[in-house]
Amino acid sequence: MIMGGSTATGISNASWIYDFDDSTDEWKEGPSMPVAWESHTCGLIADTEDGTVMVVVAGGDASPKVTYLWVIGTDKWNAGPWLTEGTVLQI
């Protein structure tokens, strides 16, 4: 998965997920994030009870305590809870 980052034309709010399906095996564009991000971190969170999988994007230069969540299979990002400590330049 690729979320935002610096491009030749500026900071991006694009989201991309790699589809491992044998018939497609390609990058698919997800919904645009509400803000452009760089120097942030992202990861997957799974709800073990209902199987929901979410992408979480957090931190970064502009808003180090802000998080956004995207439930895979939907077309919308939602504001998540703020971090207690800011994060910048996470790898």
pLDDT per position in the chain (91 positions), as tens?
888 888 899 988 899 888 887 777 888 889 999 888 888 888 999 999 999 999 998 887 767 788 899 998 899 999 999 888 766 555 4
Please give the pLDDT value at position 87. Answer: 62
User: Which contacts qualify for 19-28: CB closer than 8 Å, 24 or more apart?
Assistant: 27/2
Q: Is the pTM of this model over 0.85?
A: no
Contact in structure between 33 and 46 (CB atoms under 8 Å): no
